[in-house]
Structure 1
Amino acid sequence: MQKSVLVPHAHLPRGHRARHVLTSTVDVFGTAHWLLAERAPQPGGDALPVDALVVSVDPDGNVELTELSAVRTRWPCLDRLPDGGFVVAASRVHRYEDASQVQVFDALGREITSFSVGDAIEHLLVDEEGRIWVGHFDENPIGIRCWSASGRLVWTSDDAGIPGLFDCYALNVSGTVAWACPYTDFPLVEIRPDRTRRPVRVWANRVRGAQAVAVHGDRVAFYGGYRTDRDRLVHGEINGTSVESTGVGLLSLPEDSAPGRRRVVGRGSRIYVQAEPFTTWGVFDLST
């Protein structure tokens, strides 16, 4: 079985590792971001809101710090806007918290607006135009939606004809295009909301349970799966109406050990993987 090794991408500077990592991501331009708090959140513990620090490391290794005031969630999703601001969203939300679920901060860390996108966020990714793509999991099976940074609904999967869209297992946002691989049927889905003709294209797919997907031309890679397939990497080719598998392998960390708990982010041809203790991002690039 072929083994692919993650290439080191970004590291949280050691001077910030004493803080707790609330969450981390890689934005559409390849910059890694860590949202840090003084200590780990406890259910029913510390009062909200809290101040937090975003540490950003760009592909050249340059470090930028942004202090966010009054973050109102203990279990956040994070991404950066093209203008330097940030989006922080509560992945789970109670009804009385809906109006403030998503907080949008400017480049100076000041909150400028808030709105709701719905409970059970699986993925939150910002595209190059500053639109916020949200994929939901099955405790709120409303599919995939795209929002403006001001809270306007731009696109919804409600009438898109995506089969078996019950849980957005994998979501990839690159440029202004989104790719998805949703449960229960796991089709490969391309979404181009700006295209007037066929904004959504769907290919049948036999790979089940992938947590991330990468696309480069007619080539595709699916990462993850159920049980013993959690480190699986399946290569495929888009042919007509389906994806045909061309090989199955494993994706491992640079030190040649399989990742345990991890975060994954899909961006075009790239799959970024971050394993515990969540201080380092590695990358697999389908285009190389």
Structure 2
Amino acid sequence: MQKTALVPYAHLPRAHHHRHVLTSTVDVFGTAHWLLAERAPQRGVELLPFDALIVSVDPDGNVELTELSAVRARWPHFDRLPDGGFVVATSRTRRHEDANQVQIFDALGRETSSFSVGDAIEHLLVDESGQIWVGHFDENPAGIRRWSATGQLTWTSDGAPIPGLFDCYALNVSGTTAWACPYTDFPLVEIRPDRTDRPVRVWANRVRGAKAVAVHGERVAFYGGYGKERDRLAHGDITERSVEPTDVGLLTLPDGHALGRRRVVGRGSRIYVQTEPFTAWGVFDLSS
């Protein structure tokens, strides 16, 4: 089976390796970000709120630091806003915390607002216009929704012609467009909320269980799967009504070794992958 190696992309500067990586992401403009705390959370020990440091490394290797005060997110997701601020959200909520689930910080790290987007966040990705896309896992039937940075719901998958949307397995946000591959039917879905004609397009797809998707023109790649297919990289062509498989291989670390525990981010033609100890990002680019 053909193997495709990730290309090294961004590294957390060694000066910050003593801190605990709470989570990390790559934004819509290609800058990698790490959300760091002084120490790892301990089960049964309540440390909220806490101060955090965001280390950002842009595609040219420039480093920027942003200190956040009074972060309240357990099991956080985060991304950068186009104005230089950040959105930080906790993936699971308790009822009395709903209003504080999502925190918006300005470019100086000061909290400016908070709101709720609903429990069970699987993905949180900001687009070029500053809209916040949230994909939920199966403990919340909300599916996929888009929010403004002020907490206004600007698009919802409710009523959209997306078959079997019970869990947003894969979400890719690039420009102002989102692509998804949701459980249970795993169709390829394109979402353009601002398009008056067919804002949602759906293609039947035979690849099951992908955790990330990349799209370039009429080509698509699905990464991940169940069991022994967790490192699968499946390619296909987008036709009028379906995705037609072309070839299947494996995605590996840059040195050719198998991937272990990982987090993934889909952005347009790219799938970014990060493995333990979560200090470096690699990239697969469908357009290259």
TM-score w.r.t. the length of structure 2 is 0.99
Provide the rounded CA distance (Å) in 1 between the counterparts of 2:15 and 2:74: 23
User: Does residue 40 in structure 1 map to residue 40 in structure 2?
Assistant: yes
Provide, for residues 240-285 of structure 1, a one-character-per-residue CA deviation record: whole Å limited to 9, x for no partner.
1000000000000001111111000000000000001000000000
Provide the rounded CA distance (Å) in 1 between the counterparts of 2:73 and 2:83: 23
Provide the rounded CA distance (Å) in 1 between the counterparts of 2:132 and 2:118: 13
Whether contact under 8 Å (1:22, 1:35) holds in the other structure is yes
User: Does residue 159 in structure 1 map to residue 167 in structure 2?
Assistant: no
Provide the rounded CA distance (Å) in 2 between the counterparts of 1:135 and 1:94: 18
Provide the rounded CA distance (Å) in 2 between the counterparts of 1:46 and 1:96: 16
Deviation at 1:47, TM superposition (A): 2.5
Which residue does the alignment assign to 2:78?
78
Structure 2 letter corresponding to 1:32: A
Whether contact under 8 Å (2:41, 2:47) holds in the other structure is no
Whether contact under 8 Å (2:104, 2:112) holds in the other structure is yes
Q: Percent identity?
A: 81
Provide, for residues 42-98 of structure 1, a one-character-per-residue CA deviation record: whole Å limited to 9, x for no partner.
233143100000000000000000000100023100100000000000001111110
Which residue does the alignment assign to 1:242?
242
Provide the rounded CA distance (Å) in 1 between the counterparts of 2:231 and 2:60: 28
Structure 1 letter corresponding to 2:106: D
Provide the rounded CA distance (Å) in 2 between the counterparts of 1:74 and 1:184: 28
Which residue does the alignment assign to 1:260?
260
Which residue does the alignment assign to 2:205?
205
Structure 1 letter corresponding to 2:69: S
1:27-176 to 2 correspondences below 5 Å: 27-176=27-176
Which residue does the alignment assign to 2:214?
214
Structure 2 letter corresponding to 1:101: Q
Which residue does the alignment assign to 1:276?
276
Deviation at 1:134, TM superposition (A): 0.2
Name the SS for the 1:99 alignment partner.
Answer: helix
Whether contact under 8 Å (2:12, 2:55) holds in the other structure is yes
Structure 2 unmatched ranges of 5 or more:
none
How many residue pairs end up in the alignment?
A: 288
Name the SS for the 1:162 alignment partner.
Answer: coil
Runs of 4+ in structure 1 over 6 Å off: none
Provide the rounded CA distance (Å) in 2 between the counterparts of 1:256 and 1:234: 18
Provide the rounded CA distance (Å) in 2 between the counterparts of 1:81 and 1:164: 31
Provide, for residues 88-131 of structure 1, a one-character-per-residue CA deviation record: whole Å limited to 9, x for no partner.
00001111110000000000000000000000000000000000
Provide the rounded CA distance (Å) in 2 between the counterparts of 1:252 and 1:241: 31
User: What is the root-mean-square deviation of aligned Cα atoms in Å?
Assistant: 0.6
1:14-33 to 2 correspondences below 5 Å: 14-33=14-33
Structure 2 letter corresponding to 1:83: D
User: Does residue 182 in structure 1 map to residue 182 in structure 2?
Assistant: yes
Whether contact under 8 Å (2:74, 2:91) holds in the other structure is no
Provide the rounded CA distance (Å) in 2 between the counterparts of 1:38 and 1:222: 36
Whether contact under 8 Å (1:22, 1:74) holds in the other structure is no
Deviation at 1:220, TM superposition (A): 0.1
Name the SS for the 1:15 alignment partner.
Answer: helix
Whether contact under 8 Å (1:53, 1:65) holds in the other structure is yes
Structure 1 unmatched ranges of 5 or more:
none
Whether contact under 8 Å (1:190, 1:202) holds in the other structure is yes
Whether contact under 8 Å (1:173, 1:267) holds in the other structure is yes
Whether contact under 8 Å (2:235, 2:247) holds in the other structure is yes
Structure 2 letter corresponding to 1:125: L
Structure 1 letter corresponding to 2:43: P
